Structure 1
Amino acid sequence: MLLLKTMQKVNPMKAIFFEKFGTRDVLQFGDRPEPAPQQKELLIEVERSSVNYVDIRERQGTYNRPETHVGGIELPHISGLQAVGTVIAAGSKEDKVWIGKKVVAYTPKGGGYAQKVVAETSFCVEIPESANADLFAALPNQGLTAYLLLTASTQIQPGESVLVQGASGGVGSLAVQIAKILGAGTVLGTASTSEKLDFIRSLGADDAIDYTREDWTKRVLENTSGRGVDVLLESIGGNIFEQNFECLAPFGRHIIFGSTRGPGQPFAPRRLMQKSQTMTGFYLPVFLAKPELIQAGMEFLVKATLEEKLRPSIARILPLSQTAEAHRLLEDREIQGTILLDTK
């Protein structure tokens, strides 16, 4: 007796994907199979997604090099670490109550550059139907990074001073605001142009400093009565990494979460002993091993945004088909805040 297998129909969706690593030219816009939610996952019809610098590193193949030690990705790949949209299906019976709800989702496996994406239920937070999708689409990856830098890599104490390098970017602009929400005292931000410095001040920073000036560390010391900052969030690298120690206070915490200018020169760890300072590395995917911290971060970000204490900054909204242009703007550092993708 012949057994006939019924092929399940796979619905196509529009997406941005790449089949090989390289420059922006490898990004393709076309049809991909609609993902299917598994246990404890939701299928979301995406309204807004956004672009992160991580997406560029993925496209370049950085995470697939042995020296990065982060596991890599499989090709073809759809990037996109965050999305806002409506739940249209659930992989678990108990999660069907989510269907029809508007959610903001963190999607660490990617998939956000598409009309539909799958996300773990625990990494989704419901938002009001009337909520501005643009604000929330800018939150998950960059917001979680900023939040966990200040609550897990260290714990800000009331009145402590904070310096955020690259404070006009997606993570930096949120870190400035979150530091204030968490009770920090003096919060300083750096950038490289007058326009970006004005933007940082508009976020509530106590001062904005041009890190391209040779004496930028003196400005930090002036703002902290010569003591230096208690917490320093570093994402630039190069020679800036070395200069950071000129304005880091005794017992100061130096947290590294990026290096847009490259890793710089080797560092002698015993230097930290002189002022009892600490240095901590940060990589958000590592925190997937602690999902309770991810959940707490998502809930904090949504609550603070709904209460208008946190204002995600939207730099540009582009159609999904123009994702390559979004990558260019980010690579060329032409934007302040987050670039969103309209997936409709």
Structure 2
Amino acid sequence: MKDRLVIRRREVLAGVAASCMGFALPSLGQDRQFPKRSVRFVVPFAPGGAADVATRPLAKELEPVWKQPVLVDNRPGGLFMIGLQAALQAPADGHTLMYLTNSMAAVQAVHKQYDLSRQLIPVTQTVSFPMVMLVPGNSPFKTVKDLVAYAREHPNKLRYSSVGVGSTEHLKTAEFQKAARFEADHIPYKSGPDMVMGLLSAQVDLTLTAANFAYTYAPKGQVRVLAVLGSQRIKEMPDVPTLRETGFDVSPFNFWSGYAVKAGTPASAVQQIYQDLATAAVTPFMNETLAGLGMSPAVSKSPDAFAKLIADELAWAMEQAKGIDPAS
């Protein structure tokens, strides 16, 4: 999504090397001002989900660079507020980084409990990964058109899940419903893994979620992948069509994730963190690790570019959130 704002491994390495040779060659004597102690990544999702598995290998890659422990602090719940409050209670010095993803912008549009642009300074996107449409493995729906035909004939009988009211999964499914002209019953869960467990147990009929869950459960026949939400098919599932290929005009979409620091963090620290994250996110280790999870590195061209990505995501979410009751 928004490919103009991200650059891949070769471009990242060239650009970062040109701008931060002292980082690439610390033996030349650069006096690094960051970090001075352990660094914490606050992840507002439960362990085991896409957010968690994208952060832990990055933390591992950064420890030898920063020469400090890099901790992953999972703080799920409260529509991201538990994690956000933990990050905002820390000093504005860069030693606490907040994990950000599409869903945080989406939830802000519906619940308005926080203001990412005021409370945080975006640093960079680091990862992109596909969203897919899943149904249970024993579902009668073999195609998207099968599902839509049933949903039109049985209003509000189809059950779909998300990780909460106003989440990206919720708003994207709402967009799909509008395009396909049907009504369905929304079942919110507390986390991505919980949401998928609901699908596996057939408590719900439909889930839009990260592709890494499909890679885990589709080969076992526990879920069926009906469509990819991105602009093109993905190599891991070449026979699965994009949603637009099935005839429904829904805007292409990929999940993204990245990191921010508390507002007030010195600009020099923000730039150092950007350079370090941009380099660590595209190492061979990260490429290999993320590929195994169905993800790929995607680094913002600058902190300002990441801020623009978040603003664009919020604008989309505000449009989709019209008419959604936060208490529903």
Per the normalisation by structure 2, the TM-score is: 0.31
Higher relative contact order (CA 8 A, sep 6+): 2
More helix by share: 2
